[in-house]
Homo-oligomer: A and B are copies of this chain.
Amino acid sequence: MFSGAQISLYPMADDFVSVIMAALTGLDPWREALRIETDDISTLLVGPPEVLFAAMRDLFVRAAQTGVHCVLSAAVSRGCPGEPDDPICMAQGGFARDLALPDRIAAARANVGLAAVTGQDVAAQFSLYPLGEGPHMDEIYGCIDFLKASGTFDRSKNFCTRLRGDAGPVFATLCEAFTNFGTVAGHVVLDVTVSANSPSAR
């Protein structure tokens, strides 16, 4: 199954180019497991979900540690019918398992509990879009049940859910939402915004 992400990093600073260039070192441990293509709007990462979310986490943490108000925006996709299979996308942990919804919720929650802490606090909001045939709202409501028990849940908003906490469990929550909900071979998109160092009080 093809999986990848279009990601963009926005440092709110005059020297945004140098913040981005420094943050790119966060991708270094992941480069062999990814195909990467950049243009002036976004960077395409192609690879398995667990690598995509770990690479985004490390990129964003590196940028946020400068202290600059930074935002990462990403659209993460799996199973898009318009994309060919790619061997680089073989998931280690598997995509949505062939398990009942309550079992997937429990597995996702356990995995978030294992996430390493990075020391960087973030706020995030995301939406999950299971496309094509099937009970898409059941999967979304199941995902929301997982989120509320994840330890990173902040609150529901129109069209999306807010998370907060350390970047480690927050990105783990996103990865679990992406891989456990929606049909096993289905087309699923996760759209996420992650923010750090915002001057706006919550």
Task: Give residues in A with beta carbon < 8 Å to B.
Answer: 4, 6, 8, 10-14, 16-17, 39-42, 44, 46, 69, 71, 73, 75, 77, 80-83, 123-125, 127, 129-133, 136-137, 140, 157-160, 162, 189, 191, 193, 195, 198-202
Assuming the contacts A40-B198, A127-B189, A199-B17, asked whether A159 and B75 have C-beta atoms less than 8 A apart, the reply is yes
CA distance A133 to B17 in the complex (A): 43
Q: Select A44's contact among B42, B69, B158, B198, beta carbons within 8 Å.
A: B158
CA distance A8 to B8 in the complex (A): 13
Are B193 and A4 in contact (CB-based, < 8 A)?
Answer: no
Assuming the contacts A39-B202, A69-B16, asked whether A193 and B137 have C-beta atoms less than 8 A apart, the reply is no
Nearest CB in chain B: distance from A145 CB, A? 14
Give the number of copies in the complex.
Answer: 2
Assuming the contacts A8-B193, A189-B129, asked whether A202 and B75 have C-beta atoms less than 8 A apart, the reply is no
CA distance A80 to B55 in the complex (A): 31
Which residues of the partner chain B approach A40 to less than 8 Å between Cβ atoms? 123, 195, 198, 200-202
Nearest CB in chain B: distance from A132 CB, A? 6
Nearest CB in chain B: distance from A83 CB, A? 6
Nearest CB in chain B: distance from A136 CB, A? 5
CA distance A131 to B136 in the complex (A): 7
Which residues of the partner chain B approach A39 to less than 8 Å between Cβ atoms? 157, 200, 202
Nearest CB in chain B: distance from A87 CB, A? 16
Assuming the contacts A40-B198, A41-B123, A159-B6, asked whether A73 and B193 have C-beta atoms less than 8 A apart, the reply is yes
Which residues of the partner chain B approach A160 to less than 8 Å between Cβ atoms? 6, 75
With both beta carbons as reference points, the residue of chain B lying nearest to A68 in the complex is identified as: B14
**Most chain B C-beta atoms within 10 Å of own C-beta, residue among A39, A140, A200:** A39
Which residues of the partner chain B approach A202 to less than 8 Å between Cβ atoms? 39-40
